[in-house]
Structure 1
Amino acid sequence: MNLVALGRVLRRSWWWVVLILLAALVGGWLATAATPKQYAAETRVLYALDASGSIQSQLQAASLASQRAAVDAQLVPTATILAPVVAEIGDPDLTVEVLTPLTVATAQATVLDVVVTLPDADEAAAVANGIVSQLQTRAAADPIVLDPANPQAPTYTYTLTTLLPAVAPTTPASPVLIINLLIALAIGILAAAVFLGVLVSRDNRVYDLKRLREVTDAPVVGTVGFTRGRKGVPVQRDIAALRAALLSRASGAATWLLTSAGKGTSAARVGGPLAASFAATGEDTLLLSTEADGKDASPGLTDYLAGAAEPAEIKAAAPVENLALVGAGTRTDASHDLFAHTSAPSLLGSLTNGTGTVIITAPGTAESADATTLARLGGRTLVVVTAGKTTDDDLARTLEALTEAGADVAGVIWATRA
C-alpha cells in the first residue's frame, strides 16, 4: 500500500478510524460485562514419605512421593476424587460432569497444584480444599513398604502438607477486561486497516499535476493557490499569471466560461478575482454569474433573458474600476431553458457589447445544465480542477458533457492550497 496515499486517506478519514477503534473497545467491554464471571481457587500440596535410614532409602522415598503426586494429578479430575467432594458440598447444580473440565491438577516433582474454576468463588475454594482432603484420606490408607522382601521392614505413609490452602478469590479469573480490550483493540486495528485499504483502493482523486496530465489531454492553463482556511482567497500572483496565460490564448475581446469539475473550488472563487485582475489593467470587464446567491434578490441575468429587466438594471458597479457585475437573478427550475432559447445569443451579445473581457462563472455540469448550455453560445471554456477533491470520474464526465455540448474547452485551471 502506498504510504503517501494512505496518509492522504487517513488525514481525510481519521475520525472514521477513531470511531472503529472506539466501537471495538466498547464491544470488548460489553462482551466482558455480558460474559459470566469465573473464579479460580488454587491449592498446593507437598508430598513426602518419611523414610529415615540410609540415603538410598531416602532417595527411594522421594522418588515414590514424586510418583504419587503424578498419579494423583491424573486421578484428581475423575469421579474417584470428585464424587465424594460433590456429595459433601451438596449443590444440586454441581455434578462430576460439570466439575471435571473445570478442575486441573499439575504435578511438579513432589508438589501438586490443583486449580478449580467455578462461577461461585466460595464453592471453587471448597471444592479445591475438598479434593486435598480426599487425597490425604487416600494417602493415609495406602501404606508403603520400602523393602517388601524383608518381613520386618517398617511401613510408611505419605504425608500431604498443604503449602497453599484454597481461599475464595475476590478477582475473577475470566473474563479479564484488559485482555478482552486488547483483543478488541487488535480486531479494531485490523478492521480499520481493511477500511483504509478499501478507501485507498477506491480513492481516484487527482492530487497532483502529474496525475492530472495522465487523466486528461486538456492543457493546464494556470495554477491558482488559495490561502488556508474554508474561505481562503487566491494568491494574487497566481491570478495575474492566469490572466497572462489567457491573454496569450486570445487577442482582443474574449469571453471565458469557467465551470468546476465535481467537488472543490467553485468557478466563482476563481472567476471573481480573475475578472478583477483584468479590470485592474484598464480592460472593460464584465463578470457574469449563473450561480444563484440566496442573499441577493436583485434582478440579474435570468430576469434580463426573460424580458423582465434591462441591461442597465442588472449591471452593478464593482469596487474595482472598469468592472461590472451581473448576478444570476431570479432562478427557477426552468431557468436553464432561458439560456437555450434562440434569443439568448443576441441578448447576451447586446449585454456584453463594448466589453473587452467577459468572465462567465457557472456551476459544475453535475449540478446544472448552465455550463453546457452557455458553452454553445461562443467563447472558450475553462474547467476548475481542485487538488485532492476532484476525481478522475468527475473530470472525465465534465469534459465529456462540455464536448458533447460543442464547447471549445481551452484547458483546465489547477486549484490548490497555497
Structure 2
Amino acid sequence: MDLRDYGRVLRRNWLVIVALTMVGLLVGGASALLAQPTYTAEAKLFVAIQGSGSVSELQQGNTFSQARVQSYVKTVTSPIVLQPAIDSLGLDENVDDLSRRVKASTELNTVIINVSASDRSPVQAAAIAQAIANSLVQAVDTLERPKAGGTSPVSLSIITPAQAPTAPSAPNTRVNIILGLVIGLALGIGAAVLRGKLDSRIRGEADLRRVTDSPLLGGIAFDADATRKPLLTQTPAQSPRAESFRQLRTNLQFANVAGHAKTVLISSSLPSEGKSTTATNLAIALAQAGQAVCLIDADLRRPMVSEYLGLDRNAGLTTCLVGQTDVNDVLQPWGEENLFVLTSGQIPPNPSELLGSDEMKTLILRLESAFDTVVIDAPPLLPVTDAAVLSQHVGGVVMVVAAQQTRSQDLQKSLNALELVQANLLGVILNRLPVKGPDAYAYSYYNNAESQSAPPREESAARQNSSSGNTPAENAYRPARVLPRSR
C-alpha cells in the first residue's frame, strides 16, 4: 500500500477514527475529573563547606560540595533520612511507601538540593517535605562528622522551608485530555489501517486494479430509488445513473472496436450484484442509440428481466431450445426503440445442459444475424457453471462487480473460471459505487450532444411505457423482427 492507499483507508474509516478519538478524549477528561487530587510541597537546602573563608579554601570547598551533592540527593530516600521523618510525624507507613512519594534533585553546577513530597493533603505534604529536609540536615551532619571527633566540615541549611501548596500537582486536566486525545487518535488510525488490511472487499477502482488489469467499462453510482425504479427510462435523462449507462454504452463500443463481439454476456461473481439491472439498462441504452438490440434472459434459475420489463416469461428461451416454438414467436418488443426481449421461459431442471447445447449456439448465431447487438443476462459464475458454459458461445463477457460487497478472492475465482474456458473478457463494471467519498465515481453533468438530440417525446413515452408495466398486449401493434426459420 502506498500513501494514496493509506489515505483512502483513512477516509473510508473516518467514522471509526472520530469515534475512537472521542472515546480517548472522554476517557482522558473522566480520569482527570475522577482522580483524587495530589499536592506536592518542596523545600530547598544549601550545601556549604565550613572553613576559614580564604579564597583557596572557598574554591576547594565549592568543588567538594558539588561532588558531594549528588550523594546527598541519593541519601534523601534512604532509611537514615526517612525513618526519623516518619517518627517525628507519626506516619502510619514504612520507609518504602514513603520513598515513593518523595523526590530529591539538584541543578547542574549548583549546591542546592530540592526535596519534594506528595500527599493528598496540602498541609501534610508540606509537613513531610519539611521533616525530610530537617532529617537530611541531621543525617549529613552525622555522616560527615569525623570519627576522631569534632564538627562536620559540611553544613546543610534550609533556605526555602516547605509551604502548603494552594493548587494540586496532579491530575493535570489539560495533559490528561491531550494525552487521551492523542491515544484515541492513534488507536483510531491503527484500527482503520488494520481494518483496511483485513478488508478484502472491492470498494473502488484502486481495489479492482489489485485483482485485474481488465478495462473498467464504467461505474454505476448507488441509487436508493433503484430498487423501486430499476430501469433507465424511469430516471431523469440528466441524472448520474442515466449518464453512467450512456458512458458504459460508449466504453463498451470502444472495447469492442473490432466488432467481433456482437453478443455480450453480462455476469457477476455472486447473486445480488446488479447484473440483471445492468444488462437490462445496457440493452435499453444501446437501443436508444439507434441500434437493433435483443435482450436474452439466460438466468434460468432466477430470471428477473421479465419482472423488470413487465413481460410474460411463460414462453421464451427454454421453449425455443427444446424445440416447442420458434424464436420469432416468442420475441417480445419493448419500448419505442428497436429493443426485443427473449425472456427465460419455464425454469428447466437442467439449465447448464440447455445453455451449453448446440441449439443455444445456433440460436445466438441467428440472433446475431438479425440484430446489431445481443445482450445476455447470465447467472453468476461462482454458484453455478451456466455462465462459464454459455461464455463459449458469445463474443465477449462483461463482469459486474458490486462495490463494497464483492470480495477480491471471489472476483479472482470468477476471472479464473472465464480464463479456463478461454472467454473473451471485454471489461468490468463497478456497480453501486458511493456518490461521495474516496471511492466515488466521477460523472459528467455536461449536456452532451447525445442527450440534447434525444426527443423529449420519446423519453417520456419510454418512461410511461415502463411504468405502466409494458405487457405484450400493449406492444402487440409492433411486429417482431422476422428471423430465418431454423432447419
Distance 1:349 1:119, change over 3 A: same
Q: Residues 43 and 115 of structure 1 are in contact (CA less than 8 Å); yes or no, is this contact kept in structure 2?
A: yes
**What is the match of residue 409 of structure 1?**
423
2:398 paired with 1:383 = yes
- Opposite residue 414 of structure 2, the aligned amino acid is T
Taking structure 2 as the reference length, the TM-score comes to 0.58
Looking at structure 1, the residues matched to 59 and 252 of structure 2 have their Cα atoms a distance apart, in angstroms, of 99
**What is the match of residue 41 of structure 1?**
41
Structure 1 position 321, deviation (Å): 1.5
Distance 1:185 1:9, change over 3 A: closer
**What is the match of residue 130 of structure 2?**
129
Looking at structure 1, the residues matched to 308 and 281 of structure 2 have their Cα atoms a distance apart, in angstroms, of 19
Bigger fraction of residues in strand? 1
Q: Residues 300 and 326 of structure 1 are in contact (CA less than 8 Å); yes or no, is this contact kept in structure 2?
A: no
Distance 1:338 1:243, change over 3 A: farther
- Opposite residue 165 of structure 1, the aligned amino acid is A
**What is the match of residue 160 of structure 2?**
163
Gaps of 5+ in 2: 224-239, 320-324, 431-440, 443-487
Structure 1 position 210, deviation (Å): 11
Structure 1 position 86, deviation (Å): 1.1
Partner SS state of residue 249, structure 1: coil
Aligned CA RMSD, in angstroms, stands at 5.5
For residue 293 of structure 2, the aligned residue among 272, 279, 285 is 285
Aligned sequence identity (%) = 21
User: What is the correspondence of 1:212-291 to structure 2 with a 5 Å cutoff?
Assistant: 215=212, 224-226=217-219, 230=223, 232-233=241-242, 234=244, 236=246, 238-240=248-250, 242-243=252-253, 246=256, 248-250=258-260, 255-261=263-269, 266-268=274-276, 270-280=278-288, 283-289=291-297, 290=299
**What is the match of residue 75 of structure 1?**
75
Looking at structure 1, the residues matched to 28 and 131 of structure 2 have their Cα atoms a distance apart, in angstroms, of 36
Structure 1 position 128, deviation (Å): 0.6
Partner SS state of residue 165, structure 1: coil
**What is the match of residue 191 of structure 1?**
190
- Opposite residue 236 of structure 1, the aligned amino acid is R
User: What is the correspondence of 1:341-360 to structure 2 with a 5 Å cutoff?
Assistant: 356=371, 357-360=373-376
- Opposite residue 98 of structure 2, the aligned amino acid is L
User: What is the correspondence of 1:319-358 to structure 2 with a 5 Å cutoff?
Assistant: 319-325=335-341, 335=347, 337=349, 339-340=351-352, 356=371, 357-358=373-374
Taking structure 1 as the reference length, the TM-score comes to 0.66
Looking at structure 2, the residues matched to 27 and 328 of structure 1 have their Cα atoms a distance apart, in angstroms, of 61
Looking at structure 2, the residues matched to 87 and 297 of structure 1 have their Cα atoms a distance apart, in angstroms, of 96
**What is the match of residue 445 of structure 2?**
none
Structure 1 position 382, deviation (Å): 0.8
Count of paired positions: 393
Distance 1:366 1:11, change over 3 A: farther
Looking at structure 1, the residues matched to 153 and 279 of structure 2 have their Cα atoms a distance apart, in angstroms, of 106
Looking at structure 1, the residues matched to 33 and 271 of structure 2 have their Cα atoms a distance apart, in angstroms, of 45
Q: Residues 276 and 377 of structure 2 are in contact (CA less than 8 Å); yes or no, is this contact kept in structure 1?
A: yes
Looking at structure 2, the residues matched to 265 and 19 of structure 1 have their Cα atoms a distance apart, in angstroms, of 31
- Opposite residue 106 of structure 1, the aligned amino acid is S
